Amino acid sequence: MKLYNSASHTREDFVPHTPGKVSMYTCGPTVYHFAHIGNLRSYLMEDVLEKFLRYDGYDVTRVMNITDVGHLASDADTGEDKMLKGAKREHKTVMEIAQFYTDAFFADCKKLNIKYPDVVQPATGMIDSYIKVITKLMDTGYAYFAGGNVYFDTSKLDHYYVFNDHDEEDLAVGVREGVEADENKRNKTDFVLWFTKSKFEDQALKWDSPWGVGYPGWHIECSCISMKYLGEYLDIHCGGVDNAFPHHTNEIAQSEAYLGHPWCKYWVHIAHLDTAGGKMSKSKGEFTTVSTLEEKGYDPLVYRLFCLQSHYRKALVFTYENLDNAKAAYEKLVGRVAALKPEGAADEAAMAKYDTAFREALGNDLNTSLAVTRLYDVLKAKDLSDADKAALVGRFDQVLGLDLLEKAEAKRAEQAKATTTSAGGYTVTGEGDAEIDALVLRRGEAKKAKNFAEADAIRDELKAKGIEVTDVPGGAVWKRT
């Protein structure tokens, strides 16, 4: 497998630290509000990566954090704690907010067929680990205490900007959104490991520490959670592209300073979901959730297919017109699977080249669009039986996660009821398309009247539309080919 590594800016051969095993960390949500579909694009694509690694034979352990403390309104350690902001908005406690939105997040994930991680760790459950790591960073000179807070000293590093080179001016006050002056910092790029003072006095969650009562900074959480469950060497770290700087940059700085050796080998960043107005964002006050899509009549898996049709490293533009196109494609795909009549055993030899093509698509930096094309190739293949096709659809869907066999079975049950009967008793059974039903009915009536020229003309018209008609006693059955 080749995977694009944000740290090297190249596609690299994927070689895990321990052969056959993959340790994977995915940055989880800050649970102060509902996740919007832009957030969920990242988790969806991470889900595909994890499922493909499993499909390709790896033993994967995926860990996710839940940020329920320490994430301030600005990624630059300024502003109000997002959890406290959510609690004030809804007149609830921080822990009530955390539990409600954690449950809502995983409910949305379930609707999108995003697998529950092997380990889910709330940040508030790791306070002792943060104190242990910060203590060592202070003992070894990588951290310092100033103005009531503990900061990481980035000047101690040979190379701080891992993913991109930034100009010093990028961090100047007023140049980059959200950056404010912090007179306690020795260097502009230093970041908080532990707060004991902040710009607001009513921080809800505080713990004792060697530096006073306080709470952890956002960045230290992921490092400690990852090291606890996945050890000192991490294979893959995922997140949205906006996490690369400063969050992931700071994770690398503190983790490698603590461990004394390289920490994570492969960094996978998922591009934004954009709207006509730019990146979808909670801070703008208007965002689209899975529930919004459902209220508008969309199956959440239509959104999953919408995401699969684009590469994870390309910004994806969301419009309802684009989603309608994905809906039409999804319904047609389900219809084609429903039209299969699998009988007998599947032929592994016949299926092998199609399985290989699917693996090659996803093994090429997770090319999900090409993987979906490989699924269509199976459905139109002339050298596969319906049993082969159904078997391959089921296998591919272990990764694609579109519930195709289940939806197809439901559609077949629906189609069994979708019959049109003429006055003369001629019955047409199809896929619930009134226009096609009418054409097949006209063909049957023409044959009954021995008007074979008209019957043949209608048959040709149906064939041009991709419709296959089978005559049965008392009527006909049609399906899309």
Would you place residue 176 in the very low, low, confident or very high pLDDT band (cuts 50, 70, 90)?
very low
Predicted pLDDT at 383: 97
Q: pLDDT band at residue 434, thresholds of 50, 70 and 90? A: confident
Give phi and psi for 254, each to the nearest 5. -75, -35
Residue range 64-79: mean pLDDT, rounded: 77
Are the beta carbons of 280 and 274 closer than 8 angstroms? yes
Q: d(Cα 360, Cα 356) in Å, to the nearest integer?
A: 6
Q: What integer pLDDT is reported at residue 276 of this predicted model?
A: 72
pLDDT digits (tens, 9 = 90+) for 403-427: 999 999 998 887 666 566 665 678 8
Average pLDDT over residues 250-265: 98
Torsion of CA 441, 442, 445, 447, to 10 degrees: -110
Cα–Cα distance between 147 and 197 in angstroms, integer?
A: 8
Is pLDDT at 284 greater than 80 in this prediction? no
Residues 6+ apart with CB under 8 A from 396: 358, 371, 374, 375, 378
Higher pLDDT pick, 268 / 480: 268
Residue bearing the bigger pLDDT, 481 or 206: 206
* Mean pLDDT computed over every residue of the chain: 90
* Mean pLDDT score, 445-454: 91
Tell me the per-residue pLDDT of 17-65, one tens digit each, with 9 for 90 and over: 999 999 999 999 999 999 999 999 999 999 999 999 999 999 999 999 9
Alpha carbons 362 and 369: distance in angstroms, whole number: 9
Provide the whole-model pTM.
0.85
* pLDDT higher at 93 or 295: 295
- Cβ within 8 Å of residue 31, ≥6 positions away: 66, 67, 68, 83, 97, 98, 100, 101, 102, 105
Please compute the mean of the pLDDT values over residues 114-135 and round it to a whole number. 97
CA angle 418, 474, 410 (to 5 degrees): 25
> pLDDT tens-digit profile of 303-360?
999 999 999 999 999 999 999 999 999 999 999 999 999 999 999 999 999 999 999 9
Adjacent-strand bridge partners of 13: 2
